Chain A
Amino acid sequence: MFESKSGVLLVGGLGFFLFAFLSNAVVPALLYRDLPEATTTELVAKNAQVMYQFEELSNCYPEQFKKYFGEPTQENCAKALELGRQIYVNEGCWHCHSQFVRPVSREVDRWGPVARTEEYQNVLQRPVMFGTRRVGPDLSREGGRHASDWHAVHFYQPKLVSHGSTMPDYPWLFDGAPDRPNQRGLAIITYVQWLGSWLESYPYYEDYQPLEIERPEAPAEESAATPAEDSAATPAEEAT
């Protein structure tokens, strides 16, 4: 058997592969078969926080938002999330950022609660975005950690708000200026704000009440924040 064709092909090639597949892939699939896989629409419907962020985007960049998404409805939010995830995959964000918090290396102190299976049972984790490398920080608790306009400037040119950042610039997510995110820009911001927004302790770092707060200022002023002001705000934000 050990040197024969049928032995090599059937036992080594097929048999051992199937054995590994059964024990390593089918077993977890069976273990989690009772956890339903949520659709994007369901995710949005159950999650007020992400809707809040989406609405905030529409206040922040009214013109751009109107042009690319229209109204901040649940349906459009689901659309934005799907597009945002596609950009996250296509641009290779997942090769520099992970999406799971481990119970070791003091990651709970840095990012928040350890990752749980339930968090990943949805179509936006198909294929799952665990990631394998952290050049930048884990993003699974990113939502609400920064304001959307911080993200906009950051995506436009990370160095403007994070000195010494090695993250690439993504000016093609904008119509020429950091306060004019295009459809892809709005989508990726929505996606990043969604990450972790399903947790009760959202946002993990700041103690604010989502949704009940009406935005006090005129949105135009907010979005006109210059990069310089923004970077001045960052250290203070981090000190909290």
Chain B
Amino acid sequence: MTEAKPATTERLVDERLVLTYFIAALAYMTISMLAGMLMALQLVHWNPLRGLELLSPGRWRMVHTNAIAYGFLANAFLGALHWAIPRLTLRPVLDRRLSWFIFVAWQVVVLSTAAGIVLGPTLQANSPGLAALPFSLGAQGVEWGETPTWIDPLALAGLLLVAVNFMAPIIKTPGPLYVTLWYFMAAFVWTFLTYAMGNFLPQYSLAGTSAGAVSGLFIHDLVGLFVTPLGWGLMYYFVPILLKKPMWSHGLSLVGFWGLAFFYPLNGIHHFLYTPIPMFLQHGAIISTIAVEMVVTTVIINFFGTIWGSGRAIVTNLPIRWFYTGMIFYAITCAQCALQTTLTFQALIHFSDWVVGHAHLVMFGVFSMWLLGIMTYLFPRIWRTSWYSQNLCEWHYWLSAVGLAVMALDLTLVGVFQGYYWASLQPWEVSVDGSVPFWMVRVFAGLAMFAGQLCFFYNLWATWRLSRGVAATSSPRPSVATRAPAGT
């Protein structure tokens, strides 16, 4: 794994595009967090904006998840891919203009998803012309696929273009490929297929139980076959570069990739255990979930084997700290997975906040952490400067990590309580009242995470101003700008 000489890579990578993707991603992160906050406040009776149709917590909850998946994660991934793929293949993407076209098209997809979810139902109810449309302008009834049906084809076309644009340099690269590229290539195929399967089949051709099975596959594949491979692919790229040493074991990388490829897609139905979906399929999903957890453990071992001996980097190198924190959360999530997929656990915790905690652990604790780490590394590098404030970087990290840890712990715990409240057959309200104190903790944990982002934004802005001042004097490229001056 070698990084090509800067002189070549500079012309290969469209750095402005990378930056633009990151900024867009952060904007959606803000929207998503505010939307989540609205629902959190609703749950503790503190929603100050009750009864406003366009601020309906139910609609904004869908904006919350979609803005994170398609707004933050997708944009941040695309930015990072535009950095990593040309450097790995030593070839530019298919076409720069196409890259920018995809950028714009994707923002149209994400923004119209949000607009559709929030405004669609209102418009349709108040205008007879729109009411006559044969489809709903608002959300689609598929979890993580709430993208309104009328946007789905556009989103799918966008995914196809993304794949074409990135596959061009990969296909031209000779010889056995590096791990990162296995993950990326597979992810392009999987994301496209997953999106098509989840958004079209349950809507147009299947009803009832079998549609439930497909929805389960979709929920799971979206995390497992879109987010996970891109995330791990990037880790296999950035971790060795930042640590300046190769991965610990190539054999384990192989096990990790092929294990994921085989077992992950088989997991979907574990989201709908105890439904009328045939029991043998439920059992199959449970067994393959446990298999995935074993596979994933090998990947984690591989990464901890890599950092073995350079452990101090976790203290001194902020991006590495983000990455490894994410991996620890990943290990926790996966341990949780292996437990919660069992029927015994499901009986108690399904439908409860345990699952919500789990989702935050994965989407924020793992993948957002990785991407924020990548951004912490790349922003100053692209701006040819160092961070305006190392302290604010630390605040960003600690507020995010601690906030998320508190939130996940809190929701996991209340999930167990809820399970017992329900099974005890007390009136429903008892379970709601009993959850409120935990939900309050969640509000504050969320505020901490949000405050962390604000630190980041301020720091970004100040760093950008700094870079404009520095550009005139054209300083030499700093090495890893975020590394603390002392200690390394």
Contact = CB atoms under 8 A, between A and B. Distances in A.
A117 B189 contact: no
B217 A21 contact: yes
B50 A126 contact: no
Contacts of A106: 422-423, 425
B265 A20 contact: yes
Interface in A1-30: 2-5, 8-9, 11-14, 16-17, 19-21, 23-25, 27-29
Contact of B276 (A13, A117, A123, A134): A117
B51 A133 contact: no
A102 B422 CA distance: 12
A126 B202 contact: yes
A9 B212 contact: no
Given A87-B121, A127-B211, A162-B429, A95 B58 contact: yes
Interface string A85-105: 011011111111010101111
Contacts of B275: 100, 102, 115, 130
A109 interface: yes
Contacts of A170: 56
A168 interface: yes
A132 interface: yes
Given A3-B176, A23-B266, A125-B207, A137 B348 contact: no
A32 B94 CA distance: 45
Contacts of A117: 208-209, 276
A236 interface: no
Contacts of A146: none
A71 interface: no
B214 A25 contact: yes
Interface string B353-380: 0011000000000000000000000000
Interface string A161-187: 011111011111000000000011000
A128 B120 contact: no
A116 B275 CA distance: 8
Given A13-B186, A94-B141, A133-B351, A24 B121 contact: no
Given A12-B182, A136-B428, A98 B351 contact: yes
B235 interface: no
B207 A123 contact: yes
B139 interface: yes
Nearest to B135: A86
Which of A23, A107, A129, A135: most chain B Cβ within 10 A?
A135
A165 B431 CA distance: 11
A127 B141 contact: yes
Given A9-B185, A14-B189, A105-B347, A110 B125 contact: no
A122 interface: yes
A92 B58 contact: yes
Contact of B211 (A13, A107, A128, A168): A128
B432 interface: yes
A121 interface: yes
B14 interface: no
A163 B425 CA distance: 19
A37 B57 CA distance: 33
B276 A105 contact: no
A9 B186 contact: yes
B428 A128 contact: no
Contacts of B50: 168-169
A31 interface: yes
A171 B56 CA distance: 10
Interface residues of B, number: 95
A126 B56 contact: no
Contact of B58 (A2, A93, A132, A165): A93
B59 A92 contact: yes
Given A105-B422, A125-B208, A17 B62 contact: no
Contacts of A2: 254, 258
Given A3-B176, A168-B57, A128 B215 contact: yes
A135 B423 CA distance: 15
Given A128-B209, A169-B50, A104 B347 contact: yes
B351 A132 contact: yes
A120 interface: yes
A28 B59 contact: no
Interface stretch (B107-115, B277-285, B308-316): B277-285
Contacts of A103: 274
Interface in B195-216: 197, 201-203, 206-216
A200 interface: no
Given A17-B193, A32-B210, A171-B51, A132 B355 contact: yes
Interface in B44-81: 44-45, 47, 50-51, 53, 56-59, 61-62
Contacts of B276: 100, 115-117, 119-120
Given A2-B254, A8-B186, A28-B278, A95 B61 contact: yes
A20 to B, nearest CB: 3
B441 interface: no
Given A20-B217, A23-B284, A165-B432, A120 B209 contact: yes
A28 B213 contact: yes
Contacts of A229: none
Interface string B258-280: 10011001101101101111100
B42 A168 contact: yes
A238 interface: yes
Nearest to B426: A110
A189 B136 CA distance: 19
Which of B188, B206, B268: most chain A Cβ within 10 A?
B206
Interface of A: 2-5, 8-9, 11-14, 16-17, 19-21, 23-25, 27-29, 31-32, 35, 37, 86-87, 89-96, 98, 100, 102-107, 109-110, 115-117, 119-123, 125-137, 157, 162-166, 168-172, 183-184, 238
Given A104-B274, A105-B423, A107-B422, 5 more contacts: A5-B177, A13-B186, A27-B278, A91-B121, A135-B432
30 contacts: A5-B185, A8-B181, A12-B182, A17-B194, A17-B221, A17-B225, A23-B284, A25-B197, A28-B210, A86-B121, A89-B139, A90-B59, A102-B347, A103-B274, A117-B209, A117-B276, A120-B207, A126-B208, A127-B140, A128-B202, A128-B207, A128-B212, A130-B215, A131-B351, A132-B143, A166-B43, A166-B432, A169-B51, A171-B53, A172-B125
Q: Which 9 A-B pairs have the closest CB atoms?
A: A92-B58, A120-B208, A13-B189, A20-B265, A90-B138, A127-B202, A3-B176, A12-B261, A102-B274
